[in-house]
Structure 1
Amino acid sequence: MRAAVLHEIGQDKLEVLDDVEAVGFGPGKVRIRVRATGLCHSDLSAMNGVLPQPAPFVPGHEGAGEILEVGEGVRHLQAGDRVVVCWLPACGACPACRRGQTELCLAGFMNAGTPNYKRPGGDLFGFAGTGTFTEEVVVDAGCAVPIPDDVPFDIAALIGCGVTTGLGAALNTADVEAGSSVAVIGCGGVGISAIQGARLRGAAEIVAVDPVPARREAALKFGASRAVSPDELPDAKQQVTGGEGFD
């Protein structure tokens, strides 16, 4: 099958190979046909060495597709199910999970050092234990989250990281309260999702801050009360530094 591969950390180009094979299928695993995948800045950070990642590897961790095969013991999924790839599922057993803080579970990182693919030249890793820049991927069954039939794969793929990261920042990390004022600095995919999370929590005012006009326009469509460039907020910067102003 085909996959995009980065041979060495620091390279700026991927090579598309057609002799890659997904490995590791067995009990508790599923094999997924990848129908859509997103490009996250974390993929770029792994490629340039900012994030630790063994090489050679297949980038990508925002993916969606359909189940091709389920391993022994998998009861909640079956072939044909439409799923989002979750690169960091909660294990349910670590201290964070037992405290009810599943968003802090780090057990999924244990898979990052295990090869996900092979080719005649040797083993290949998958970024963050997945690697979705490929036609098929094998992951733990807990990494496959079912989605409704009417959700397009290209939209569903973004839920695998960018959307949940932004929502989690507002709902879990910041714990936005109803009636509060919120400033979201940076309105890319994650920032837009943080804006939606703040809106869901009932924030009274949501100020989107971004130097790119198109992103500011998108922020308003996704729930921001107003959108400004950084140089329009000198007083707000002063207030934030002094512990006042935006929550």
Structure 2
Amino acid sequence: MKTMKAVVAHGLNDFSVEEVTLDPPKADEVLVKMKATGICHSDLSVINGTIPVPFPMVLGHEGAGVVEEVGDNVTNVAPGDHVTLSFVPNCGDCYHCLRSEPYLCLKSTPDGKMMDGTTRVHKDGEDVNVMQFLGNMAEYAVVPSMCLVKIEDDIDMKAAALVGCGVTTGVGAALKTAEV
């Protein structure tokens, strides 16, 4: 178990930097030392109540960092790899994933828990939820391996952090809606 600092929201307009504990990664999960994190409008929407979530919750769903540890069955990244985080994991097995609609994955509901229904973050013996399977407004994050994209070591971490949500959302809107 690792102690770290994280941005924890406790309710509407109630958040602070706090010390929490983080469990090691389970199977198909990865421990990432965060190097950069973006603040997205979705984070603000959680804080102001536009997006309802179960509190307490570690904020953050776009970021980049370095892999420190991998759980069993992880083959897409290794310790030392530089990665960017994606908040849209998919199981690959449900109805929507099999129809090439991974963004509708039935197993990736954003309820603040990991894919197995538990959380890796705790404070004073209580579970703390994480935003969009990531909760990366923290020194470290344990995330599903399917949420990671390996990047070259020379890519700027601040730029890579924005790819996880802001860039992909903008590109998706331009390609799909505006048909650019």
Distance (whole Å) between structure 1 residues aligned to residue 161 and residue 77 of structure 2: 18
Any conservation in 2 of the 1:88–1:109 contact (CA below 8 Å)? no
Paired residue for 2:99? 99
Match of 1:160 in 2: 164
Partner of 1:78: 78
Distance change in 2, residues 1:52/1:143 (3 Å): same
Counterpart CA distance in 1 for 2:51 and 2:111 is 15
The answer to whether the Cα contact below 8 Å between 1:37 and 1:63 also exists between their aligned partners in 2 is yes
Paired amino acid for 1:137:
A
- Taking the TM superposition and a 5 Å limit, the aligned residue runs for 1:36-185 are 36-109=36-109, 112-113=112-113, 114-120=118-124, 122-171=126-175, 173-174=176-177, 176=179
The aligned counterpart of 1:10 is 12
Give the number of the structure whose alpha-carbon radius of gyration is greater. 1
Higher relative contact order (CA 8 A, sep 6+): 2
Give the percent of matched residue pairs that are identical in Structure 1 and Structure 2: 41
In the TM superposition, residue 94 of structure 1 has moved relative to its aligned partner by 2.4
TM-score after normalising by structure 2: 0.87
**Higher strand residue share:** 2
4+ runs deviating over 4 angstroms: none
Q: Structure 2: state its 5+ residue gaps.
A: none
Residue 32 of structure 2 contacts residue 142 of structure 2 at CA under 8 Å; is this kept in 1? yes
Aligned length: 173
Structure (1 or 2) with the greater helix fraction: 1
Quote the offset at 1:47 in angstroms: 1.3
CA distance in 2, matches of 1:111, 1:11: 19
Give the Cα–Cα distance (whole angstroms) in 2 for the partners of residues 42 and 163 of structure 1.
14
Q: Distance in 2 between matches of 1:98 and 1:130?
A: 24
